[in-house]
Amino acid sequence: MDSRKIEENVFKGLMIFSSLVISAGLLWILAVIIIKGLPAMNLAMITQAPKGGFYLGKEGGILNAIVGSLLLAGGATALALFLSLPLVLYLNVYLKKGARLAVFTRFSLDVLWGVPSIVYGAFGFTLMLFFGLRASLLGGIIAVALLIFPIMCRAMDEVMQMIPQELMNASYSLGSTRWETAFKVVVRQALPGILTAILIAFGRGIGDAASVIFTAGFTDSVSFSLFRPVATLPLAIFYQLGTPFPEVQARAHASSLILTIIIITISIGARILTKRFQGYVVK
């Protein structure tokens, strides 16, 4: 065999090896989370809040964190949607393609995407001090909303950019204003994409810990108040792992499994929506 062929085969082997390593990594993570998480899984985990001595291995569950995370991620997603939908509509309906403001905004959204969540936490904390808020559900919602805002914008922007100009022109030619075109035509056309963006952002929000350490605090009771601290799943995992008791650590593993299941469900949901959306796109 000539040397070129040998080189080709060596590298092809390395490539396949790398791909296998990466796939194996993913499987390994999922397998460990499932195997370690299942034994401590029981109904009490998801139906009860921590009782006295929970962190010493006594009774209870993580209902406080599940409820808290859902409230926090839900609130943050709603807040982020409230800000990002007008923004992407403005980019796609009001501004011309290649307008300087549009280019700049997209660029800064991309950059914001890369800002670590701990920085959003610190910034959210500064905002809270500024407004005189204490660690609370509201504080957490603000920090997480900041974190998922660029993610949501980019995801929605991508689908809206695919909407043909002709469709908007058709709406204008019927005498619609831009506002009506944006909310009645573009939003409807991009609806599955918007839903996907919401799911992706929600998933990111529910899994993030670093942004909520400062801002949302933690509590052992199930709390619905905007102005009181709230528990979150990632922090519940973190704190349970921090105890020296194997029973509590086992619950942390079960909590990780719960969080992973939520994330996978959301990820699959987003994928199904995207698939369905592709069916509508005329090529």
Partner 1 sequence: MRGKRAIKEKAARYLMLAITGLSGLLMFIMVFALYYRSRPILALKPLTYLLLDTVWAPSRGEFGFLPFIAGTLWVTLVAVAIAVPLCLLTSIYLSEYAGSRIREWSKPPIDLLAGIPSVVYGVWGLLVVVPLIKDQIAPLFGKFITGYCVLAGGIVLAIMVFPVIIHVSVEVMGYVPQEIREASLAVGATKWQTVKFVVLRKALPGIVAAVVLGLSRAFGETMAVLMVAGNVARLPKSMFDPAYTLPALIANNYGEMLSIPLYDSALMLASFILLVVVLIFNIISRMFLVRIERRIQ
Instruction: Count the Cβ atoms, other than its own, within 10 Å of residue 120.
Output: 25
Q: Is 28 in the site for partner 1 (CB under 8 A)?
A: yes
Q: Is 62 in the site for partner 1 (CB under 8 A)?
A: no
Using CB under 8 A as the binding rule, the residues of this chain from 107 to 126 that contact partner 1 are 107-119, 121-123, 126
The piece of 25-33, 50-58, 59-67, 186-194 that touches partner 1 (CB under 8 A) is 25-33
Q: Is 19 in the site for partner 1 (CB under 8 A)?
A: yes
Using CB under 8 A as the binding rule, the residues of this chain from 193 to 222 that contact partner 1 are 200, 203-204, 206-210, 213-214
**80-100 burial string, b = 16+ CB within 10 Å, else e?**
bbeebbebbbebbbeeeeeee
Q: Is 263 in the site for partner 1 (CB under 8 A)?
A: yes
Contact between 232 and 216 under an 8 Å Cβ cutoff? The reply is yes
Angle in degrees, CA 124, 105, 193, rounded to 5: 85
* Residues touching partner 1, count (CB under 8 A): 81
The piece of 156-164, 165-173, 186-194, 230-238 that touches partner 1 (CB under 8 A) is 230-238
Residue 116 to residues 113, 208, 209, 210, 211, Cα–Cα distance (Å):
8, 11, 11, 9, 9
- Residue for token pair 């959003």: 120
Q: How many residues does the chain have?
A: 283
Per-residue tokens: 234? 């990632």
Measured from the CB atom, the residue of 104 and 224 that comes closer to partner 1 is: 104
Using CB under 8 A as the binding rule, the residues of this chain from 140 to 179 that contact partner 1 are 146, 149, 153, 177-179
Q: Is 87 in the site for partner 1 (CB under 8 A)?
A: yes
Which one among 81, 160, 187, 259 touches partner 1, defined by CB under 8 A?
259
Per-residue tokens: 79? 């807040």
Which one among 136, 171, 219, 256 touches partner 1, defined by CB under 8 A?
256
